[in-house]
Amino acid sequence: MKKKIVTLLIAGTLALSITACGGSGEDTSSADSTESTEETTEETNEAPAEEEPQYTQYEAGMYKVSADIPAGTYLITGDMGYVEVASDSSGQLESIIANDNYVNRTYLSVADGQYFKFDGVAIPEAEAPAYTSENGAYPEGKYLVGKDIPAGEYKISLTDGNVMGYGYIEVSSDASGTLNAIVANANIQGDTYQTVQNGQYLKLSGAEIKGQ
């Protein structure tokens, strides 16, 4: 009987040892599997990085239309700068078709064979993002009505800190920059109102729409 008891104890001990070892192995495998699943889940749930919108951009300089840059309408942006369209590269006053000094943003259209000169960055209007207004405010610049700014009536004021004491507003039918395109314009010394329609361009110089 003693021999039998000893045999049972040894068997029990071996069984316990085997169970303990087996349990340890199963726990480790389970933990590894859980961690692996969690890592996979985290990687799966991680949102893909958003790509920034890409636009065709032309750096400051002079371009020959069709040879260097396609004909069309362009949004030009920068803190401030100068834009010009000329019939040739002579640099003579007589060759200038349209020119302007701008603040923040402007639009200009160019045709085949013309020379396009600008400061800042030019983006094809069709690719350019619409201006995003903060609380209905529009600072100095030129805006395409129906894209950058809704059609309607706006109260326009002199910019804060305007040392000149006057501003200029202009509504044009296109972005040619020519006198024939001007629908309405005025020098202002205080608040005024202006109505604009889709497809027109509103230029604010020394003036702004303050919004809400």
Residue 141 in tokens = 């610049």
49 pLDDT tier (thresholds 50, 70, 90): low
CA 184 to chain centre: 30
Helix, coil or strand: residue 50: coil
Q: Can you give the pLDDT at residue 76? A: 98
- The answer to whether residue 67 scores a pLDDT higher than 70 is yes
Q: Determine the average pLDDT of the residues in 149-160.
A: 98
| 103 Ramachandran zone, left/alpha/beta (phi>0; psi -120 to 50) | beta
For the stretch 193-204, pLDDT in tens is: 999 999 999 999
Rounded Cα distance between 75 and 93, Å, is 24
- The answer to whether residue 5 scores a pLDDT higher than 80 is no
